[in-house]
Amino acid sequence: MPEESNIQIPGVPASEPAALDEPTTPREPLPPKPDQQGPEAVSPTGTPTGAPLTARAQSGQYLTTAQGLRLGDTDHSLKAGPRGPVLLQDHHLREKITHFDHERIPERVVHARGAGAHGVFRSYGTAARISRAGFLAKDVETPVFVRFSTVLGSRGSADAVRDTRGFSTKFYTDEGTYDLVGNNIPVFFIQDGIKFPDLIHAGKPHPDREIPQAQSAHDTFWDFVSLHTEAQAHTMWNMSDRGIPRSLRTMEGFGVHTFRFVNAEGKTTLVKFHWKPKQGVHSLVWEEAQIINGMDPDFHRRDLADAIEAGAFPEWELGVQTFPDTEDQMFEGIDLLDPTKFVPEELAPVQPIGIMTLNANPTNYFAETEQVAFHPGHLVPGIDVTNDPLLQVRLFSYLDTQISRLGGPNFGQIPINRPQAPVNDMLRDGMHQQAVHGGAAPYHPNSLDGGCPFLAGQDMSAFIDVPEELAASIKERKNPASFSDHYSQARLFFRSLTPVEQDHVIQAYTFELGKCYEKAIRERQLLALANVDTDLCAAVAKGLGMPAPAATEDVADAEPSPALSQLGKTWPVAGRVVGIMADQDSDLEEVNAARKALDALGIVPLVIAPAGGTLGEEGDGGVPVQRTYLTARSTEFDAVIVAGGAMRASDATAGRDAKAGEPGASLDPRVVLLLSEAFRHAKALGAWGEHSATLETAGIPQDTAGVVAAGTAGELVPQIAELLANHRVWERFPAN
């Protein structure tokens, strides 16, 4: 090595310091700078895995490129002079824009709009006799991630549309991930998966103008369901209140298909899954839903996240209906392999097997709710599929769709999709491979890697396909004869509803068909309704101004199933929202007493006042305002209490000096709107003391069901809570 180790630069005297020192002996790499550490390692449930943690995103000291290069400027592109063109050599600009250009991934072809949450499932052990699934043993706690969704709308569409809701649960069990990918409606539109593209093409917006968004009220949808009559049962559920849930927290969930439980002895039982919300099963009314979609398109998503953030963790009990795994797989005349049929609870009770609590919001929507990949074929030992032809096609579709949606076959390595059981597969390489697999022999059998990994037996928790004897048959494109009844369950559902709920169904069909331009489609759907129920058909036909056709099919009657009605029960009131309308004339002590009394019941009190800030002095005696006349709309509240004195319209409104209830008094039109909407939507309304006069002035009749006048806030709140337990004051509906 020359004595002078400085690099020589032509034209530069050797005595000048060299630009660089070439290291001659290896040295330890520099410790990473705080802002250069990798992203935080989290388990699929969002909890840190114990791997070295870094500070949260955006909190590192210096901004860097994706390669860890510290940046001195990210606000100006590199230009040839301040007014000159931008230079291609600006590597930071190119990285920043290129990454941005690719931030979006394809949305789901169906169920694009969703909301997710983390939680835990605790099993009761009641299913242990019929399933050997480890997570169903007594008192086992399994982390879960749930994604609720609408079906038809795009990712940016509104929440409260009339549609089926998806209810997908990922159980991160010790024996591998189990996905229960269900809906809030127990029957489906089609019996064979080959029809799914037809169904979805008909339901999605028209291909020419791409309207309407997230709705079934259009010609192509009703064209399909009226021609394809096996869809009538599911459509009937959509037209009922189930199509517009009040909250994701107040929805039931169903596995839809019949699945198979396998116990330790290999004995099989057929099961249908049910999620029963502890919060009750509640819906919106249609006018409310339409208002919400404009006022707050994120209504369901916000409600779920707010409840979890507030610690009001929603819970669902998981239950199963069980059926003997007989050769014909029929139960009480119902083909258990027909996904357009459900089994009434009166014939097969739902038996609870565990409880799920959602207790954490996602940290990052994209990483978790968007990238989560469900698949009905993600099974664990003890749970298997059946030959339901819809389920069989799903087993292909869900894996397939993730490859284009998540960009390759390694989507299982995305944090939210990572199993919490050890993974020891022989899948290799592919787009977005994250693992650095060691070893030489990713094949089986091998001798080079010691023969590893080995195959497990049933006693080592292996998934063993249930041996199933198949009847000798011919290969053909045909349905079994037992699939041919398309109307009896639509009839059973409609006739099991209370008159109020039936009225909603009539209104919904009339609305949806009223939006169809083609007369032939309306006529054909009326014909289908005639086969379901002649009164229903006549009422819808009347609304459409069309003649009611006669039934063409001889449809079997079934015993109504009262369990299908959402009415007539009482439910916990915790988590419901009550608006308290107050103003400068309110008795603030009473307002605070009402807030406290509601809070003690777990009800969320929101004070609505003319302007934001605080009523009275900030501090103990003051009342913080959560909503103003401008930001409030009746749809946010399950009940409304009037606690204000005047609530007069501002400027230039006649009678502004008169007290409410006095001649000449006039209320702010937004107050009138809020109260009259709440009244029309059958919500409980109340006032104490002289404030009843405000209700009167708003046109709310006093001695009406669900309109409560009390002496004090303390007397009023329990009465409002009692009404809330029924969800709405149904005897007042409709109130037009």
Residues that bind ligand HDE (CB under 6 A): 108-111, 114, 147, 149, 166, 168, 181-183, 188, 193, 196, 256, 339, 372-374, 390, 393-394, 397-398, 401
CA distance 147 to 169: 7
261 vs 688, beta carbon nearer ligand HDE? 261
**Distance in angstroms between the alpha carbons of the first and the last residue of the chain:** 99
Q: Which helix (H) or strand (E) holds 689?
A: none
Instruction: Indicate the residue type of 343.
Output: V
145 vs 733, beta carbon nearer ligand HDE? 145
Local structure of 578: helix, strand or coil: strand
339 vs 706, beta carbon nearer ligand HDE? 339
125 vs 407, beta carbon nearer ligand HDE? 407
CB of 368 to ligand HDE, least distance (A): 11
CA distance 322 to 325: 9
CB of 168 to ligand HDE, least distance (A): 4
On the question of a cis peptide bond just before residue 39, with omega within 30 degrees of 0, the verdict is no
**Cα distances (Å, whole numbers) of residue 150 to 114, 300, 493, 720:** 7, 10, 22, 32
Phi and psi, residue 109, nearest 5°: -65, -30
Is residue 454 packed enough to be buried (19+ CB in 10 Å), middle (13-18) or exposed (0-12)?
A: exposed
Q: Is 111 considered catalytic here?
A: yes
Residue with tokens 């009539």: 506
Phi and psi, residue 426, nearest 5°: -120, 25
CA angle in degrees (0–180, nearest 5) for 551-188-260: 125
Q: Which two tokens stand for residue 682?
A: 């059958």
Phi and psi, residue 679, nearest 5°: -65, -45
188 vs 629, beta carbon nearer ligand HDE? 188
164 vs 694, beta carbon nearer ligand HDE? 164
191 vs 290, beta carbon nearer ligand HDE? 191
| 8 A C-beta contact, residue 266 and residue 126 | no
Q: Which two tokens stand for residue 696?
A: 């009167």
Is residue 6 packed enough to be buried (19+ CB in 10 Å), middle (13-18) or exposed (0-12)?
A: middle
Residue with tokens 């009844």: 485
| 8 A C-beta contact, residue 284 and residue 244 | yes
Active-site annotation holder among 6, 92, 102, 111: 111
The residue among 276, 274, 273, 272 whose CA lies nearest residue 249 is: 276
CA distance 96 to 369: 24
CB of 242 to ligand HDE, least distance (A): 14
Residue with tokens 């009678």: 655
Q: Is 293 considered catalytic here?
A: no
63 vs 109, beta carbon nearer ligand HDE? 109
339 vs 605, beta carbon nearer ligand HDE? 339
Q: Which are the contacts of 515, defined by CB distance < 8 A and separation ≥ 6?
A: 217, 218
Active-site annotation holder among 92, 118, 183, 274: 183
Local structure of 320: helix, strand or coil: strand
49 vs 401, beta carbon nearer ligand HDE? 401
251 vs 578, beta carbon nearer ligand HDE? 251
Q: Which two tokens stand for residue 385?
A: 């599929």
374 vs 679, beta carbon nearer ligand HDE? 374
CB of 605 to ligand HDE, least distance (A): 33
Biggest CA–CA distance in the chain, Å, is 108
CA distance 323 to 325: 6
CB of 109 to ligand HDE, least distance (A): 5
| 8 A C-beta contact, residue 221 and residue 189 | no
| 8 A C-beta contact, residue 283 and residue 242 | yes
Q: Which two tokens stand for residue 587?
A: 């008795």
CB of 394 to ligand HDE, least distance (A): 4
Number of C-alpha atoms within 13 angstroms, CB side, residue 217?
14
Residue 450: CB atoms within 10 Å: 10
Secondary structure (DSSP) of 353-379: EEEEEEEE--S-TIIIIIT----TT--
Strands, E assignment, 208-298: 253-254, 259-262, 268-277
**Cα distances (Å, whole numbers) of residue 320 to 166, 168, 347, 391, 653:** 18, 16, 13, 18, 60
The residue among 335, 345, 193, 188 whose CA lies nearest residue 270 is: 335
| 8 A C-beta contact, residue 317 and residue 355 | yes
Measured from each CB, the residue nearest to ligand HDE is 166
* Dihedral angle computed from the Cα positions of residues 332, 320, 417 and 339, in that order, rounded to the nearest 10 degrees: 20
290 vs 371, beta carbon nearer ligand HDE? 371
The bridge status of strand 604-609 relative to strand 315-324 is unpaired
Residues tagged active-site: 111, 183
